[in-house]
Structure 1
Amino acid sequence: MRVFLLRMSEAHDIFETLLKLGISEEDLEEELKQKLLQFHGFITKQGALFLIAKEKGLEVYSRELDPAIYDEAEYNIDYGEFIVDIASIHKDMINIVAVGIISEIFKINKFQRKDGTPGKVASFLLTDSTGTIKVVLWGKKAEILRNEFFKVGKIVQCINGYAKKGLKDRVEIHFSKKSKVILAPQDINKSVINKLKNIKISDKRHNSREINNTSRNPDKIEDLYNMEGFITSISGTIKIVELKEFTKNNREKSFLLKLTLYDETGEIKVKIWGMQAIEILKIIQNGMNVKIFNFLVERNDYLESKEIRFTKKTVIEFL
């Protein structure tokens, strides 16, 4: 793929350049519409075009910008895909068929979309003899967790998932509309089943989580008001405030995502800079209950209050 360096700031300029690549105006308008919907109104037309341009191999302003934008496309299903070991799953794999034991189940999280419609997301950990991976399900797919047979220790088969990197470069299996979970699959090789039955779940859980146990770990948000510096984790509910787009002195385009994290004891402002802001905005919704790991608490002298700042090591997980 050819890579171009664009030095432009107007949405019209980016739009015209994309058309010159051979994309029809109708297709580009539809892609732009979907991108705006994906970010629930928190991104401008120019910002959406900027992201589309990057996905097409166009670099706006600088070759230094982090290209970590997730591909949310639906994939064509191939039911002939063979079972793969969890350890061999890597970013950009599609039509994944994986078999394993449910090693941990996270609760279904309900939230309200910007248009007022309800949404839900759920996840669980899938373990085989080679490792553990997180499986993420949205919408109606999340309802499988309510099934009476969906329990820790049970064998399941995940069909037609696709792999993408979550925060901190952890590979996860995500479900598309055509993906499905089969409980107690029957057509599995006996040797595979025997290996799964010999797994001790406690030995495989949280293999990918990296937390400094010596760091401070407050229980409630009000505890953060008297703290500063590196913090291990905190839980709360998200409220999206705004996404700001701006151009830095070196003419690079960048972003600032502002959130509020709250619980029954109080609330605190959250700031996420650069392309990490885009990564986060793509996976969160208002009202989500989350746990944030490895972040900084700093004092905002202008507002005379504490705020959370994401670092490169910050991880956010759904509860």
Structure 2
Amino acid sequence: MSDTQEVYQALMDLGFTEEDLEEEVRQKESKFHGFITKQGALFLIAKENGIQIRAEDVDPEAYAEAEQEVDYNEFIVPIEDLDKQMTNIVLLGKVTRIFPVNEFVRKDGTAGKVGSFLVTDASGTTKVVLWGEQVKIMESEFFQVGTTIRCINGYAKIGLKELLEVHFSKKSKLLLDPQDISKKMRSKLEQIPIPKGAGMNTLSKNTGEYEGYKGDEKLEVKDLFTKEGFIASLSGIITIGGLKEFTKDNGDKSFLLKLLLTDRTGEITVNIWGMSAIEILKMVENGMSVQLKNVFIEENEYSKSKEITFNKKSVIKFI
């Protein structure tokens, strides 16, 4: 009889049922996000219940897993080594840019959320994409440009512009400011430069505009197709595209207003979400001249065209 069987039997003798042990193992696998084997999980359960069984014919790694919780520092992948086939990815780096959280309507009519940010380590930078409930952590006051983070159990995916991204699944986890980092690793992280105007958390207290984008820059629609990020100001003529009502995951109703902004150089879609869509729809009419301030320009994942999105700091001014 192998030692794994002995551990299993010893736990049964303590009063565990087969169903109990199956559930305990599942919980351990869930806790360690795929970084612990079933054998390691079983030995950890044994350790927690005072059972110590060792033998030469058992994989030493199973004992190591039981001796201490998973040290994710052992699994860190340098960003430059990411490959499109990778899963169970662990990253450690600093947030160097934050993109606005976007809402979208699924084919079944329900609402979804997607958030993303750039993370940088000593070897490079990549985009991390969060979906659904996981986006909530991006709304935390502690999640900001310059924060040290650890991404656990992500998977690699080719995103927009054929760039490699790290996406989160339901089992993925994001830790803010992890403390179990070696002095050598922490020193490397401290050397990562944080660019000015890197994202949403660089709002100027004096101007109310996002740093890194000149408020007096005279942008036209044609200029937007080579840009991505926050835009301080843009003017044009408005055409109302339509208002769509949809249901969020929590059952609440929400809205999406689409406008078309046109100037002498071209046209671009403007997306306004939530109750702001209703408020602005009451004020605008086709053919109005407007100025948009503090809006976000990005590429639509499906149409591959650049679009403008309103956020909490966005303003529409009639001129």
Provide the TM-score with structure 1 as the length reference.
0.45
Report which structure shows greater RCO (CA 8 Å, sep ≥6): 1
More strand by share: 1
Provide the TM-score with structure 2 as the length reference.
0.45
- Give the greater-gyration-radius structure (CA): 2
